[in-house]
Amino acid sequence: MSTDQTVQPRLLKGFRDYLPGQMNARMKMISAIRNVYERYGFQPLDTPAMEYLVSLVGYGEENQKQLFRFRNPEDEEVALRFDLTVPLARVVAQYPEIPLPFRRYQVAPVWRADKPDPGRFREFLQFDLDSVGTPSMQADAEIIAGMHDTLRALGISNFRIRFSNRKILNSLLEFAGIERNMAHRVFRVLDKLDKVSIDEVAKELTTGRTDASGDRIKGVGLQEAQVEKIRRFLSLPGGERSIVLGNLASLLSGVASHEEAVKELATICDALAALGLSEDHVVLDPTIARGLDYYTGPVFEAVLTDAPEFGSVFGGGRYDGLVHRFLGREIPAVGASIGVDRLFAALQKLELVELVASTAQVIVTVMEPDRMEDYLRITSRLRTEGINTELYLGEERGLGKQLQYANRLGIPVALIIGGNEFESGEVTIKDLKLGAMLQEKKKEAGKDREEWLKLSKTVQVTVPEARLIQEIRRILGPKSGGVS
């Protein structure tokens, strides 16, 4: 390519860039999640983006269609991972020295060759936590507790975690006299209950229905008597977990297979009570039909009640058969996954994240370019004290332009040192965040004028250089870091 040719800057379909403001907020969110997982004793793990194709096939027709497949330089068939759970199963099988139970967390991108639509991307970030090697239902309860504590740590107060057991749905088939080979078709219809009414679900289970766009959806072909039994199941009243469990056991009492599922759910309910998880946030909902391709026992998902349009932002379940493909024997496992991008979008909608472009807490403005060594010395001192500091190295020399630059990046504090300050051994510190807030307050004609005048005097202070660190820490607050 000749040097006078230019390349049009553009993104691949289904991919996106994250600019600094978004990245800072996402990394803060990820840090909060990681702190919760480590408090539970989960260990970090990372795996390659690419696996042998044979490792990633066999997990449902939909996943097969979504694989990005390649041939590597050795002419071997490989693919980008579509989730983080299959690589985890491969790791457990490949490293027998890992002590079980293996409690791991992982945050990493995954790739699915979906059709790019608004809000649907081909590369996205997942954050998983899993316990591998224990059949204990207390492990399932701990995953639910981790989901609960994660959402609380992110500042979300209104959410609901629903849980059930895949084995309950298997018992429902027996209760309604439905052949097992119909399971996936029936459960996929039941999974639409969040979007359509129970009457519409009933139509789709029998002869079919017409959706809101006018398209005809083919029916599953069940008999009315079978659908009536499903209706009875779906109409079980909600409420306290123990009451739901009792109603469920009563309805399915004639089905031999229900006892194991009910017993597992009862154990989880007892554990959740011991962990102090309220009935308001964690509910037993037998109608959940998720992860049909590999969940084998309890399943769970979280929705934000103030942002229901985002659907499930956190979900998982027990997948005791996943490691079997690598070892030829079952190893029990349970886990959950956050769709980081979906949850982040929900947090933005709920105004629980702030998009700040800079990581700096302080900007050192440059008023006297010939004294750059002094500016470097002061900048170094701030950084040594643990205060994130940017020295302005742009070409603007006017103070106003430099402060505009800091405001655009969201830097909260500016250090102003010109000839007079150098001569007197003083520094001027400007609280840019407070200044911006007062400008907004000033627009409120006449309101709290006395308070505004009082605060405006504190926006900018001049102190001896010896008090520089102390004053900056006072402005930044107790979480400003550094050595105390």
Higher pLDDT, 213 or 33: 33
pLDDT digits (tens, 9 = 90+) for 223-233: 999 999 999 99
> 3-state DSSP helix/strand/coil percent for the chain, to nearest 5?
45, 20, 40
Whether 419 shows a pLDDT value over 60: the answer reads yes
Q: Tell me the domains of the chain and their CATH numbers.
A: 20-178+222-349 (3.30.930.10), 362-476 (3.40.50.800)
Q: Given this model, what pLDDT does residue 483 score?
A: 36
Q: What is the DSSP letter of 214?
A: S
Q: With CA atoms as reference, report the closest residue to 109 among 346, 335, 334, 340.
A: 340
Amino acid 482: pLDDT? 43
What's residue 448's pLDDT?
62
User: What residues contact residue 82 under an 8 Å CB cut-off, 6+ apart?
Assistant: 56, 63, 66, 67, 110, 111, 112
Q: What angle (nearest 5°) sits at the alpha carbon of residue 199, between those of residues 160 and 285?
A: 25
On average, the pLDDT of the chain sits at 90
Q: How many CB atoms lie within 10 A of CB 333?
A: 27
pLDDT digits (tens, 9 = 90+) for 361-387: 999 999 999 999 999 999 999 999 999
Helix intervals (H) in 66-128: 85-94
* Highest-pLDDT range among 208-212, 237-241, 409-413, 433-437: 409-413
Band (pLDDT 50/70/90 cuts) for residue 454 is low
Arithmetic mean of pLDDT, 330-339: 95
Helix axes 183-190, 224-234, angle to 10 degrees: 50
**Mean pLDDT along residues 68-79:** 96
When pLDDT is cut at 50, 70 and 90, the band that residue 3 belongs to is: low
**Lowest-pLDDT range, 128-142, 186-200, 375-389, 397-411?**
186-200
Percentage of the chain surpassing pLDDT 90?
68
* Secondary element (H or E) of residue 428: strand 426-431
Give the pLDDT band of residue 484 (cuts 50, 70, 90).
very low
pTM: 0.88
Say which residue, 399 or 190, is predicted with more confidence. Answer: 399
For residue range 272-327, list pLDDT tens digits in order.
999 999 999 999 999 887 766 678 899 999 999 999 999 899 999 999 988 888 98
**What stretches of 141-245 adopt beta strand conformation (E)?**
159-165, 208-210, 216-218
CB 162 within 8 A of CB 296: no
In the structure, what pLDDT confidence band is assigned to residue 455 with cuts at 50, 70 and 90? low
Q: Rounded CA gap, 355 and 361, in Å?
A: 14
Note the pLDDT of residue 2. 55
Beta bridge pairs of residue 444: none
Give the mean model confidence (pLDDT) for residues 170-185.
89
pLDDT tens readout for residues 91-142 = 999 999 999 999 999 999 999 998 877 667 899 999 999 999 999 999 999 9
pLDDT of the residue at 6: 92
| DSSP letter for each residue of 263-276 | HHHHHHHHHHHHTT
Which uninterrupted H or E stretch holds 192?
none
DSSP string, 235-257: T----SHHHHHHHHHHHTTT-TT
